[in-house]
Chains A and B, each alone.
Chain A
């Protein structure tokens, strides 16, 4: 069981990594006035055929050979549905895959968002060859971490250079906390 929405996001992003994506877009938006929390994950990996798409929400379907069950997508779908939210997944082979989940923000069964900064930090640091565009919005505030922009500035300096990885970590934590106003969703 994944106990935070941020862990579900990490899990879905790992499907994108396995699909050979070079760019993964993660957007999380909270709107208090509409009482919604939405998650979008879009990648440019090898995608899925129509047939695979119909099977992906089935826990006993997986493309991997190392085990027989695939719980990631069913977990996220269930987490959205129990709050009265919705879940969709679309894909065009060799083009993109988009996963979209929406939640009723105030629903008693909505899983906490959890440590989203850690999710993004671990993705960025452990996958230096993949670009991530992360947009986090909370009502009228938002911030972006786009590794393509970071690379432009850094040139040949890698992300795992100590001062750079420290900056990435602090950039995520500080900007996330300022965007939420310190509130835990």
Chain B
């Protein structure tokens, strides 16, 4: 069994580090819809993939979070990318693979992955 002693050790090793990230206004938020419609369409693996990838790639100032149903159930799983000072980008019918592409192209390189956005889907 993994114990909380290990967590204490992690805490102690961080004592010296300054500027730990909390939530702030410069943060980019990646929001996953997690109501019944989203969950039934596969939102959980999308969310865990996003959280794990942000962790593995050491991306700072990115917050992966969740919301409820936004009324577009037929397009779930939905992922919104909200960057400070920019228009919100809504990705639809997401999968863990598409989520990885969004991290690589949009979050890291700043290029919106147009083919997965809601405007492409509706056209």
Residues of A within 8 A of B (CB): 1-2, 7, 10-11, 14, 17-18, 64, 66-67, 70-72, 75, 115, 118-119, 121-122, 125-128, 143, 149-150, 153-158, 160-167, 169-171, 174-175, 178
Contact = CB atoms under 8 A, between A and B. Distances in A.
A14 B1 contact: no
A121 B39 CA distance: 14
Most buried by B among A17, A154, A157: A157
B73 A67 contact: yes
A23 B36 CA distance: 21
Contacts of A174: 1-2
Contact of B58 (A1, A17, A70, A162): A162
Given A18-B68, A126-B51, A128-B23, A7 B1 contact: no
Interface in B18-60: 20-23, 32, 34-37, 39-40, 44-45, 47-48, 51-52, 54-55, 58
Contacts of A143: 1
B2 A171 contact: yes
B71 to A, nearest CB: 3
Contacts of B21: 158, 160-161
29 contacts: A1-B40, A2-B40, A7-B40, A7-B44, A10-B34, A11-B36, A11-B39, A14-B36, A67-B37, A67-B73, A72-B35, A72-B36, A118-B45, A121-B51, A122-B44, A122-B47, A122-B48, A122-B51, A125-B47, A126-B66, A128-B65, A143-B1, A153-B4, A160-B64, A161-B20, A161-B21, A163-B14, A167-B7, A174-B1
A125 B64 contact: yes
A153 B8 CA distance: 6
A56 to B, nearest CB: 13
A35 B88 CA distance: 49
Interface of B: 1-2, 4, 6-8, 10-11, 13-14, 20-23, 32, 34-37, 39-40, 44-45, 47-48, 51-52, 54-55, 58, 63-66, 68-71, 73
B101 to A, nearest CB: 20
Contacts of B54: 160
Contacts of A157: 11, 14, 20
Most buried by B among A66, A122, A162, A174: A122
A75 B36 contact: yes
Contacts of A127: 65-66
A151 B74 CA distance: 38
A167 B6 contact: yes
